[in-house]
Structures are given as structure tokens and as C-alpha cells.
Amino acid sequence: MISDALLVTQDPQRRVLRGDVRVEEGRISHVGPGAPREGAEVIDARAFACVPGFVNAHTHVAMALLRGIADDRDLAGFLETLFAVDAHRTEGDVEAGARAGIAEMLLSGTTSFLDLYYFEDAVARAAESLGIRAFLGWAVLDPELTTQKGAPLDNARAFIGRWKGHPRVRPLVAPQGVYVCNESTWRGARELADREQTLCHFHLSETRREVHEHESKTGRRPALWLDSIGVLGPRMVAAHCVWLTGEEIGLLARRGVGIAHCASSNLKLASGGVAPIVELRAAGAVVGLGTDSVASNNSLSMLREMHIAGLVQKNQRWDATVLSAQELLDLATIEGARALGADREIGSLEVGKWADFSLVRLDHPTLLPARPEAVVSHLAYSAAEEAIDSVYVAGAPVVQGRALVRGSWPEIRAGAESAAGSLWAQRPK
């Protein structure tokens, strides 16, 4: 039992109150004052805020080894470097990178993430080992465009078969994007997701170049083309969505496609413009926040992502009222969970949900003044990662006192540094 904490519930009423969280068999059985103490290990949390775990709705976590490898380049130059390095990746270094990235996420309060990469078995092992909740998409491309061994769609099918039913790892299919997936590949990915009842995750309309080249080739913008071939629909999560028309915004909302907004990555890669998050939400689309990879962000911190996402939308619209602190926290928690189709299980402190949450130090300088009416603002705009003291997934501690519980950071770091050496040697000069 978490006792006498400042509870940032993120429930439908968005209550912030002093109270307790009781956990039984990994799920929350009580939220609020007066939780029964019988049979419980009681943790005195008077000095902490208890906050739902963050949901990172788009990343490539194994790229932790590539932080800084392709800075200060547009997307085309960035991808040129990344593709050259990716061709030399091994399953072992993917696992080393995933462990480092997951450690970074856990230490900054993220308890669930949606990933898109290959060698996802390695990412799954890393997630299982460190205790995070993982939604893992095997990257699918046209067979002639991939460096994977075997057909990517077959690889995705086999991966889903190996991990389906795991309590914390949810496998899924992840077509990379319209620029590397033809109609047959898209239809195959959608059919696989429908047959296995998994998510389907992909990049969409990240840059003007992507949109214009696809429109020149097919006569339709990417979102409209995907709808014309019959693949848009529920259980799909589209990352970026920067270059959308009003027609596409309405279409994505009507089809029930979740959106992963990656403000920092879009800014750093100079995608241009600002993703129409306000318009997407107004149209009824569900929007979460994603960090993208550390090669393009260069951070996996959802605290930082909230801050940047809010400032960009306010500034671009000359309107300080858009994407309020409460809305930003929503995007990082319950709305991110909803985009992943998991809002009945995670994203808020409510009875019956998995006990995924963080204890945030109220005495940390970045949470001063530590008042209930200000805590949501602090989380969205000022809180530092170091303020997060402990993190729980399904009621089990995965971080305590700023230290990983199920892994050693010195060992994780050593493995990551060793694996990074050979990859950086492949960087184009």
C-alpha cells in the first residue's frame, strides 16, 4: 500500500488528492483515503506524488546506442546514416541498446512504450528482464528494400506467435511507412494485425518530401491512399502526422487511428510546420506523446516531451491556452494508453487497472511550491527526471531510490558502450 501520497489520479474527474493506493496481485484495489492496511506492506509516501506511469507512444528503443550519431541533418541525411549503420546491427547489440533505452525510460517514469524496430525478440527479452510494459512492433518493409534475413512480414508473424499472451510484452506488426511499403505489404500487415488482433504501428506524413513523393507516385496523399486500399482503421497507431490536410485529419479521426505526436524529433529533424495536434483532438482523434528514438530526439524523457509539445503548440498558434498542462499530462498517460487501446488497463490510478505508477519527490526543487493545485503544472512544465524516486509496474518496484531494481546500470552501460563501438565505426564519413 502506498500511504498518504499526493495522488494525481488521471481518472475521469482528474482528481488530485491526498490518499492511498492499495495494490493486490499487481492491480489497484483502492484509490483514495482510508485504504485497508491488513496484509499489506505499507510504504509511507507523504513526501511523494503518486503519478500514473508515462506511456511513450512511439520510439525505437534499441537505438540508444546511436545517440548523437546523425545530429544536425534533415530527415533524408539522418536516414542515410541510420540505414548505413543498421545494415551492420546484430541481435546482440539490439538487446544491449534496448536495455540501455529501457533503463533510461524507467528512470524517467515511463512504464509502457510502443516500439518499432526489427530483432524485436531482443527488445522483448530486455523488457522482460527490466520489468517494463512493452508494445513491440516488428518492422515490415517490402522484401527487396530490407536488410532483414527472410521476408519481414513472415518475421513479424513469427514474432507475434512467440510472444502473444505474455503478461507485459504485446507483439504487433509495424509497417515502416508508405515510402518502403507497397500496397501488397500494407494489405499483408493489416491482415496479420486483424487475424492476430494486434496493433498496427507505422510512420505517417512526417515530412513534405514523403507526402509529395507519394502523391506524385500514386496520385493521393499518404493517409488518403492508405484509406483507398482499405487498410486504415481501429488498432492502428500512426506516428508523426505533421503534414496533414483537413480532409486527412477528419479521415484519421473517423477511422479510429491513434496518433503518436513526436514534437522533439520533428523539431530537431526540421520537419517543418507543426503537427496539427489541436485539430486532430478537436476532430475526435486520440493523441498520445512519443519521444521517437534518441538518434533524433536525443532523449527518452516524457517529462521533457510534455514541456516541448506544449510550448510548440502555444507558440505556433499565438494562443497560450492550447494544450494546457492537464492536457499534456493526459497525452503522456491516459490518452497515450487510449491510443494503444490499453486505457482499460493502464494510464490512470483507478481500481482494477494495473498498478503502473511513479513516486515523485515533492521536495525536489523543480516541484516547488509542492501544492496540490500546482502539481500537474509542475509535471508538464518543470519536473526533472531526478525528481522521480521510485517506479512500479504491476505493483512490483522496478526503480527504487533512483536505482534500477532488476538490473545494474553499470553493467547495462558497459554492454551498451561495447556494442556501440562497432556501430559508430560504420558511420559514413
Model pTM? 0.97
- Secondary structure (DSSP) of 170-218: EEEEEE--TTT--HHHHHHHHHHHHHHT--EEEEES-SHHHHHHHHHHH
Please determine, for residue 376, whether its predicted confidence score (pLDDT) is greater than 80.
Answer: yes
Better pLDDT: 158 or 89: 158
pLDDT band for 176, please (50, 70, 90 cuts). very high
Do 148 and 294 have their domain in common?
yes
Please determine, for residue 114, whether its predicted confidence score (pLDDT) is greater than 80.
Answer: yes
Q: Is residue 410 part of a domain?
A: no
Residue 33: count other Cβ atoms within 10 Å of its Cβ: 11
Do 383 and 277 have their domain in common?
no
Do 266 and 361 have their domain in common?
no
Average pLDDT score over residue span 349-362? 98
- Give all strands of the β-sheet with 258-261 in edge-to-edge order: 54-59, 110-117, 133-140, 169-175, 200-204, 236-240, 258-261, 287-289
Structure confidence at residue 79 (pLDDT): 82
Do 48 and 61 have their domain in common?
no
Domain-terminating residue out of 308, 339, 370: 339
Please determine, for residue 171, whether its predicted confidence score (pLDDT) is greater than 80.
Answer: yes
Residue 255: count other Cβ atoms within 10 Å of its Cβ: 16
Q: Is residue 411 part of a domain?
A: no
Q: Containing H/E element for 410?
A: helix 409-424
Average pLDDT score over residue span 50-63? 98
Number of domains, the chain: 2
Answer whether 32's CB lies under 8 Å from 20's CB: yes
Residue 50: count other Cβ atoms within 10 Å of its Cβ: 24
**Which one-letter amino acid corresponds to residue 314?**
K
CA dihedral 38, 44, 46, 51 (to 10 degrees): -80
d(CA 334, CA 208): 30
Do 200 and 107 have their domain in common?
yes
Closest CA to 65 of 100, 113, 105: 100
Please determine, for residue 429, whether its predicted confidence score (pLDDT) is greater than 80.
Answer: no
C-alpha cell at 17: 488528492
Average pLDDT score over residue span 361-374? 97
Give the model confidence (pLDDT) of 266-318 as tens digits: 999 998 889 999 999 999 999 999 999 999 999 999 999 999 999 999 999 99
d(CA 168, CA 183): 32
Tell me how far CA of residue 191 lies from CA of 41, 200, 353, in angstroms: 46, 10, 30
d(CA 147, CA 87): 6
Tell me how far CA of residue 290 lies from CA of 144, 249, 263, 294, in angstroms: 29, 19, 8, 11
Do 131 and 249 have their domain in common?
yes
Q: Is residue 370 part of a domain?
A: yes
Give the model confidence (pLDDT) of 379-423 as tens digits: 999 999 999 999 999 999 999 999 999 999 999 999 999 999 989
Give the range of the structural domain holding residue 28, as residue numbers without chain letter.
2-52+355-402
Do 263 and 390 have their domain in common?
no
- Percent of the chain past pLDDT 90, that is, above it, reads 92
> CB burial class (10 A; 0-12, 13-18, 19+) of residue 161?
exposed
CA dihedral 126, 131, 137, 143 (to 10 degrees): 10
d(CA 114, CA 121): 14
pLDDT band for 83, please (50, 70, 90 cuts). confident
Q: Is residue 255 part of a domain?
A: yes
Do 48 and 63 have their domain in common?
no
Q: Is residue 418 part of a domain?
A: no
Average pLDDT score over residue span 130-141? 98
Q: What distance separates the 2 farthest-apart alpha carbons in the chain? A: 67
Do 114 and 82 have their domain in common?
yes
Q: Is residue 419 part of a domain?
A: no
Structure confidence at residue 88 (pLDDT): 81
Do 270 and 210 have their domain in common?
yes
Do 43 and 58 have their domain in common?
no
Domain with residue 376: its CATH number is: 2.30.40.10
pLDDT band for 344, please (50, 70, 90 cuts). very high
Q: Is residue 169 part of a domain?
A: yes
Please determine, for residue 48, whether its predicted confidence score (pLDDT) is greater than 80.
Answer: yes
Please determine, for residue 251, whether its predicted confidence score (pLDDT) is greater than 90.
Answer: yes
Q: Is residue 346 part of a domain?
A: no
Structure confidence at residue 104 (pLDDT): 98
Structure confidence at residue 331 (pLDDT): 98
Average pLDDT score over residue span 60-88? 88
Do 361 and 335 have their domain in common?
no
